[in-house]
Structure 1
Amino acid sequence: MRQRRRQVDGTTTDQRLLDSRGPSDWVHTDPWRVLRIQAEFVEGFGALAELGPAIGVFGSARTPVDHPSYAQGVEVGRKLVEAGYAVITGGGPGAMEAANKGACEAGGVSVGLGIELPFESGLNEWCDVGINFRYFFARKTMFVKYSQGFVVLPGGLGTLDEMFEALTLAQTQKVTAFPVVLLGTDYWAGLLDWLRETVLADGKINPEDLDRLMVTDDVDEAVAAVTGQTGPEGQVRP
C-alpha cells in the first residue's frame, strides 16, 4: 500500500506494535479479523490433514438423550467406525453428541467442529479431536473438505443449512460424488414433497438435484450409501 501527502502515517509499524498504550478497539477491525480467519483455517487443516476417510453427521442439538433419534445417532456413529470411517459432527449436544458417542465407544476417531454460540457450552465429552470456530464459513469448509458424505438426522435451521450447503456445492460442481442421506422418512417427507411438487415443478431445480438425496429409516442402508457401497448417489424415496 502506498500513502502520500496527508495520508502518510507518522508512526512506524514497530512503534505501533510495541506501544501498548491507547485504545484496544483495533483488535476488532476487519484487517485483524482476516488474521483470525486465517488462523482458523490453519488450525483446522493442521488438525484434520491426516484424519483419513470420514463422514459428517448432522442433526439437532435439541435432541433429548431418550429420543429415538439419539439412539439412531449412536448407531450411525458406531457403524460408520465399523465401516472404517471417522465421524465428524458439529461437536454439540443432542444428535451430534450421539454420533460422537457411537464413534468413540466403537474405538474410532470422533471429531467435533464446534462453533462459538451464545447458547451452547463447548464440545461434547465424546469428541476425541475438537476444534472451536468463530466463523461458520471456516467450519463449513472443514466439513466439506474432510467428509466423503453426510448423514443427516432430524434437525432444525442449522441442520438444514448444512444439508443445503452440501447440495449447492454438488449442484455447482464444487464437489463431486458427495452423497447426502436423510435419516427419518416421516420427518423429512414434507420437505421432500415441497422440493418435488413445488420447487422442481416450478423449474427452480433439476431432477438430478433431487437424485443427490436419499432418505431412509435404515441405518445400515444409510451407512452403505455414504461409504460408497451402493454407488456415489442414492435416490429420493417417497
Structure 2
Amino acid sequence: MKTIIHKSNTRGHADHGWLNSYHSFSFGNYHNPERMNFGALRVLNDDTVAAGRGFGTHPHRNMEIISIPLEGDLQHMDNMGNSTVIKSGDVQMMSAGTGVSHSEFNKNKDKEVKFLQIWIIPNKEEVTPRYDQISIEDIATKNSLYQILSPNTDDAGVWIHQNAWFHLGEYESGITDSYDLKDKGNGVYIFVLDGEIEIANKQLGKRDGLGIWETDTFNFKTNQASKILFMEVPMVF
C-alpha cells in the first residue's frame, strides 16, 4: 500500500473577494508540480461563493465535472438548455465532451454557498456533452458508505466517462469500516468534509486529504462524528 497525505493547510488558496477557494491540486494561479493530480482526479476545489455572486458563462471541454453542494443553493445554467438549482443533498455532473458553456451563481442574496468542484479526466474524449443531477437523500445511509457516482448507467448515483466510483459516508464517532476497491489499478482519494478519522495509521481532520493506492482494501475508523468523501479513480489513464 502506498499513501500520500495532503493536510488542509497545505492546499493552494485564492481569495477573490466574492470567491474563496482552496485547491487540493494545481489550479489557476496555484501551481505545484508535485500536486497536479491524483490519478484521473485532476481538480478538487473547496469553494465558497458570496451572496448573489458567481461564475459567469465560461467553456469546458473533455472533462467530467462534478459539483457537490455543502451549504446553500447554487444556480446552474448551460448552453444545453439546463437551468437548475443544486443544494446540499444533491450531486451534479457534466460531461463537457466536445464543448459546453455554463455559469454558476449563488442563488441567495443573504448567505454564502459552499460546494466542492471536482474534475475527472475522462476515458473518452469528444463525447456529446451531457448533464445530470440527482438527490442523494433516498440513498444516504448512516454509518456506512453509499455510492453517488460510477461508470455504469444503471448504478446508484450519476455516471461519468471514467472507471471511477465516488462514495459518501456519514458516521458517528467510534465506528470502524472498510473500503474495497472496485478495480485493480485504481486508487482512492479520501477527503474529510467534517470530523476526524484514522486511516493507514494517519490522523485526518476536516478538509484533510489522503491518497491510497496499490492495495485491494483498507480500513478506517472515526474518532469523531464525521462526513467523508471517497473518490476511487484510475491511477493510470
Fold match (TM-score > 0.5): no
Structure with greater helix share of residues: 1
After TM superposition, the score normalised by the length of structure 2 is: 0.29
The higher relative CO (CA closer than 8 Å, separation ≥ 6) is in 2
